């Protein structure tokens, strides 16, 4: 169980208190502004500006408000010091701002690419998008997602980045983590949208969080251009701004279309996910087209590759 301490200004602490308003504890330790308890973390903010996060989710929770300074990790008796930063902080009223949102699909699927979409939603368009059914894609089936995507793709400026399997496997084999791939794709998609909408500028850029903000920017070291200004992160960001929900829907649409293309090439329906059904499908593919076809269909480093080969060797599928 880790402890994380970050230092924030009074405005940010006020904002935090609002954010945790439903989880506030009645008893506050001496010298504190508030204490709150989430399922995985106890948060205590002190008058000094120090905020203490305790519990299994302490790093994740602290990441919403400040970025972890890895160089200082370990200092202070096992407590990680965190640099003061607004990067993990969501600006007040973000839901109603003109914002770019970004999200990805396919990272956990054995077959198919990673698709990342950044989408720009102007505040004036928020009611329209709601009307069109844009919301958390986890509440929508593929059929609904396709129908909504077909409409919003002409309403919302967006950029789609598709990391195809061949390229993915090459990068993965060269030692690049999936986290780094995602960071590069998100950054590129966001830069593309910024260019598309210029001279218009978003009031916020919200990335559906998949790593700590500090790690995200570490992944981007060496990139020619890095979108930094107004960039913020949150888990479950689809529920925070419709731009992320729209991005998620468009990313899933692109992913589903790609899987359809792979299905055509395979001659049978390619399943999603990483369960036993993908092992069988991959075995079928290997038998009909040969092992060499695999890198352009799947994420090779998944355990499913060996399972599929085992099925082929046993002729058991």
- Positions in the binding site for Mn ion (CB under 5 A): 103, 208
| Owner of token pair 């990067």 | 87
3-state secondary structure of 274: coil
**CB 104, min distance to Mn ion, A:** 6
Backbone angles phi, psi at 81, to 5 degrees: -85, 140
3-state secondary structure of 86: coil
Nearer to Mn ion, 92 or 108 (CB): 108
**CB 150, min distance to Mn ion, A:** 22
Nearer to Mn ion, 89 or 103 (CB): 103
User: What is the SS3 assignment for 89-158?
Assistant: CCCCCHHHCCEEEEEEECCCCCECCEEEEEEEECHHHHHHHHHCCCCCHHHCCHHHHHHHHHHHCCCCCE
**CB 47, min distance to Mn ion, A:** 36
| Cα distance between residue 128 and residue 134, in whole Å | 9
Nearer to Mn ion, 103 or 109 (CB): 103
- Per the CB < 8 A criterion, the answer to whether 140 and 238 are in contact is no
| Cα distance between residue 65 and residue 158, in whole Å | 27
Nearer to Mn ion, 55 or 101 (CB): 101
Preceding peptide of 204 cis, ω within 30°: no
Nearer to Mn ion, 159 or 305 (CB): 159
Nearer to Mn ion, 208 or 279 (CB): 208
**Closest of 210, 185, 231 to residue 60, by C-alpha:** 210
């Amino acid at each position: 169980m880790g402890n994380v301490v970050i230092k924030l200004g009074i405005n940010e602490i006020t904002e935090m208190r609002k954010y945790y308003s439903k989880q506030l504890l009645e008893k506050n330790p001496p010298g504190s502004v508030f204490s709150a308890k989430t399922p995985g973390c106890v948060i205590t903010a002190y008058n000094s500006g120090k905020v203490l996060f305790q519990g299994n989710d302490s790093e994740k929770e602290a990441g919403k408000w400040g970025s972890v300074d890895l160089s200082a990790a370990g200092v202070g008796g096992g407590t990680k010091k965190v640099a003061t930063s607004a990067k993990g902080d969501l600006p007040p009223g973000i839901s109603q701002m003109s914002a770019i949102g970004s999200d990805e699909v396919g990272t956990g699927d054995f077959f198919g690419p990673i698709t990342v979409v950044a989408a720009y939603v102007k505040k004036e368009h928020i009611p329209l998008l709601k009307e069109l059914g844009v919301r958390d894609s986890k509440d929508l089936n593929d059929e609904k997602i396709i129908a909504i995507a077909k409409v919003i793709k002409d309403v919302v400026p967006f950029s789609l980045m598709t990391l195809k399997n061949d390229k993915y496997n090459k990068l993965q084999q060269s030692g690049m983590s999936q986290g780094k791939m995602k960071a590069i794709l998100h950054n590129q998609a966001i830069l593309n949208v910024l260019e598309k909408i210029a001279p218009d500028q978003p009031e916020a850029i919200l990335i559906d969080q998949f790593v700590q903000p500090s790690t995200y920017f570490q992944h981007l070291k060496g990139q020619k251009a890095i979108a930094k200004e107004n960039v913020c992160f949150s888990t479950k960001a689809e529920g925070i701004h419709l731009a992320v929900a729209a991005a998620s829907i468009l990313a899933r649409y692109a992913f589903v279309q790609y899987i359809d293309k792979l299905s055509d090439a395979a001659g049978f329906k390619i399943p999603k996910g990483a369960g036993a059904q993908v092992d069988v499908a991959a075995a079928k593919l290997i038998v009909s087209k040969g092992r060499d076809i695999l890198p352009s269909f799947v994420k090779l480093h998944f355990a499913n590759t060996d399972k599929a080969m085992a099925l082929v060797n046993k002729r058991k599928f």
